[in-house]
Amino acid sequence: MVKRLFKREPAPAEPESTLDAERGRMLIEESREIVVVLDAEGRVVTASRRAREIFDGLAEGEAPPDSVLRESFAVSYTVAGMTETLVYVRDPGDLAAYEELRAGFTASVSHELRTPLARLLALLESATLPNADRDELIESAQAEVRQIGELIDDVLFLSELESGRELVALGSTAALPILEEVVESLGESAARAGLTLRAEGDPEAELPLRPRMIRVIAGNLAENAIRYAGPGSTFALTVRPGELVAADDGVGVSGDDLPRLFERFYRADRARASRGTGLGLAIVKHIANSAGGTVEAESELGGGLSIRIAFTSP
């Protein structure tokens, strides 16, 4: 009996386009993100496993649930003549946390605005009384209006930073000349508070921030010292390569208050009568973090306050 041996031909190779399509499908399938791909008519082409676990009714060839498109970021593209849309969906848990934070922030802003508005109303009502010192009352009312304006400016600036419309870091900037400008501009306010201001350090030292951002940081740190360090204190802004230190020898901050120093609207008990907006140090931290820096504070009651902002080398 003669056996015939037949040589088995190799299976034809998959076309490269088919491999690419399968590879892309697997990348989306195994993605840790919540991703959905839609065709030109808005029907589901494919989706990541996380997307299918989170959204009921996510089926290929069908329109996705409205919740998929409600909080998402979409990118359209064309491949092989067909238009598709890659939809990145926010994690509902992250969204809930964001909504909670936003609600808390809105409540805090409302509370902070009510106080100067109530004082302003009381001053205006007092100005209508017989024998009222209208000039003094008007001057006080103007101070309240300025306070409201400062708060609104700070809230808008912080919102601008967080929404990404403000480019914080752009190259490097020699910081000392800007610090000296800030100290000079606040000299009169510091003198009224009995505080001595200084700017010092390496003239060649640079920080990875735009000049405006350095000015905002330095101004907020100095104004914080003017409000809270106490008469007879000295405050210094010291710059070194990649580092800015703001230190005073004033009344200091308690151990209970120190961890909350950079929270929005937080004020220690002794500072609640201040006309500050309560956002200055929060803005300082946000700018520094956005540029890849870290912020640390050290203090004790009666021992002054030191705030160090450090930027790692790229």
Give tens-digit pLDDT for 138-179.
888 888 887 777 777 766 666 666 655 445 666 788 999 999
Give the model's confidence band at 80: pLDDT under 50 very low, under 70 low, under 90 confident, else very high: confident
Same domain as 221, residue 291: yes
Supply the pLDDT for residue 163: 56
147 belongs to a structural domain: yes
6 belongs to a structural domain: no
**Structural domain ending residue among the three candidates 39, 61, 90:** 90
- Token pair listed for 177: 């000349």
pLDDT digits (tens, 9 = 90+) for 234-252: 999 999 999 999 999 999 9
Same domain as 299, residue 201: yes
Yes or no: say if 285 and 309 are a contact pair by the CB < 8 Å rule.
no
Same domain as 182, residue 98: no
Same domain as 105, residue 80: no
141 belongs to a structural domain: yes
Supply the pLDDT for residue 84: 85
| This model's pTM is above 0.75 | no
**Structural domain ending residue among the three candidates 70, 90, 110:** 90
Same domain as 58, residue 178: no
133 belongs to a structural domain: yes
Same domain as 80, residue 109: no
Same domain as 283, residue 227: yes
127 belongs to a structural domain: yes
pLDDT digits (tens, 9 = 90+) for 184-222: 999 999 999 999 999 999 999 999 988 888 988 999 999
Domain that includes residue 106, residue range: 93-162
Report, as an integer, the average pLDDT of 39-60.
83
Supply the pLDDT for residue 111: 59
Query: How many angstroms separate the Cα of 74 from the Cα of each of 71, 77, 207?
Result: 10, 10, 36
For 218-238, what is the HEC assignment? HHHHHHHHHHHCCCCCEEEEE
State the total domains in the chain. Answer: 3
Same domain as 265, residue 189: yes
H helix or E strand, kind and range, residue 183: helix 176-185
Give the model's confidence band at 265: pLDDT under 50 very low, under 70 low, under 90 confident, else very high: low
The CATH number given to whatever domain includes residue 85 is 3.30.450.20
The CATH number given to whatever domain includes residue 200 is 3.30.565.10
Yes or no: say if 216 and 175 are a contact pair by the CB < 8 Å rule.
no
300 belongs to a structural domain: yes
80 belongs to a structural domain: yes
Same domain as 84, residue 102: no
Same domain as 153, residue 73: no
**Structural domain ending residue among the three candidates 134, 162, 190:** 162
Same domain as 302, residue 181: yes
Return mean pLDDT, the chain: 79
5 belongs to a structural domain: no
Task: Give SS3 for 53.
Answer: helix
Task: Give SS3 for 55.
Answer: coil
Report, as an integer, the average pLDDT of 75-88.
80
- Strands (E) in 249-300, as ranges, are 293-299
Same domain as 285, residue 235: yes
